[in-house]
Structure 1
């Protein structure tokens, strides 16, 4: 099982990963709060040569589901551009949040907008890396907060080879029980390609996305370990940076 961390300082991402003893790292290819286009990474050669595997997280403002053209169209373009940048770094996937719409009446169209993303890219030969759709913590009109919504989304995009990223804090905050969560999501998607293993600072079903270190939050750390073991997928910690090394050591010991 490959275990690693989200690297928030992207100057030397795989070098930071190696110093942590991580098997893989997650990184951004642009400022995650911006719409800028990715540029060639100055450490691209080192990243490609490193034994540390890489997955890229897309920028946060992307909302493929949106019915607002001014948001949806640049979101589609950003997914394509960041997937290309991820491929250039040898990444095994691009994580993209499920996004949301404004009300219940727009949910079906939001799901269809996700399908259009894959359909239109398929006409261009597809994405160069798998798109890993991540469950989200809040919003009653979210595409990927509740598992019944994820099931509808997967009916629309599963045939295109979409991957799935399970975030434990998001599931907990979103009101999905973590006991048996791996079996329940695999029954929907047929797969888990990546786990974001995070504790939560807030209570169950809070709809608040605030990560905590593995031993410090409101989720039983043993339950987090069991999710990790059951998923049998690469694991990225997105926990607070000060406790990241301790979290890595804890998880390796807990998994034996």
Structure 2
């Protein structure tokens, strides 16, 4: 079982060692900006490392948006980050499911997601798996409610889209964590990565506020059960720096046998 953490991008392998992590996730650029990634000086070390590398796309990427000024730059940014992630040996690029905004037709978001994959195919294809992540908030979101996730997968499943299950997002988004892996796999057929997070917000609160395992509103055994059932690598995106995340990784290792 590969278990790791979301870390600062400056020295991800140093951060991995500080946590005893098998995997790390980090941003390649400002998560709130549209800047494209630049080549990293440590690319060779990252490719050669035994630590699994995952890259998270900027939060502002929203390929579902009906707004051309958001959707089109988001498509381009997604491709740029996918290429940059592949260059450093990344195993996947995580991107939030996005939303269409108040008053818009959610069906347009699913269509726009399909167009994003078609756009990528015309640009030479995606060089690594894109892992769509479920989100906590937004009643007009493409991947908050699992009935909507099923509609999204009808649009993008044939392109080989991967899935990242965030336990905090699912709980805060109103999805019961009991048996969640079976429900997700009945829709997507796969879970490629788990974001193993507790939630400061309550069930169905719509609040994307992560907490350390056992400190929030989620029974940590439900997170452990999801990891066991999925058999997928897990990344903690929890607070407390190296100390907090080391404790979370230790808890998951102990209870999953990983």
Question: Does the pair score TM above 0.5?
Answer: yes
Contact 1:18 1:52 in 2 (8 A): no
TM superposition outliers: structure 1 runs of 4+ over 3 Å: none
How far 1:105 sits from its partner (Å)? 4.4
Deviation per CA, 1:56-102: give whole Å up to 9, x if none. Answer: 00001111000100000100000000000100110011000010012
Contact 1:133 1:162 in 2 (8 A): yes
Match of 1:200 in 2: 199
Contact 1:24 1:53 in 2 (8 A): yes
Q: Which runs of structure 2 are paired with 1:1-256 in the superposition (5 Å)? A: 1-7=1-7, 9-103=8-102, 105-242=104-241, 243-256=244-257
How far 1:104 sits from its partner (Å)? 5.6
Instruction: Give the Cα–Cα distance (whole angstroms) in 2 for the partners of residues 185 and 104 of structure 1.
Output: 27
Contact 1:132 1:163 in 2 (8 A): yes
Instruction: Give the Cα–Cα distance (whole angstroms) in 2 for the partners of residues 147 and 19 of structure 1.
Output: 36
Q: Which runs of 5+ in 2 are unaligned?
A: none
Contact 1:93 1:130 in 2 (8 A): yes
How far 1:103 sits from its partner (Å)? 3.7
Instruction: Give the Cα–Cα distance (whole angstroms) in 1 for the partners of residues 96 and 38 of structure 2.
Output: 22
How far 1:33 sits from its partner (Å)? 1.1
Which stretch shifts more, 68-77 or 16-25? 16-25
Q: Structure 1-normalised TM-score?
A: 0.97
Instruction: Give the Cα–Cα distance (whole angstroms) in 2 for the partners of residues 241 and 164 of structure 1.
Output: 26
Which stretch shifts more, 170-179 or 240-249? 240-249
Match of 1:164, SS state, is strand
Deviation per CA, 1:225-254: give whole Å up to 9, x if none. Answer: 111111100100001133111111111111
Identify which of structures 1 and 2 has the higher relative contact order when contacts are C-alpha pairs closer than 8 Å and 6+ apart: 2
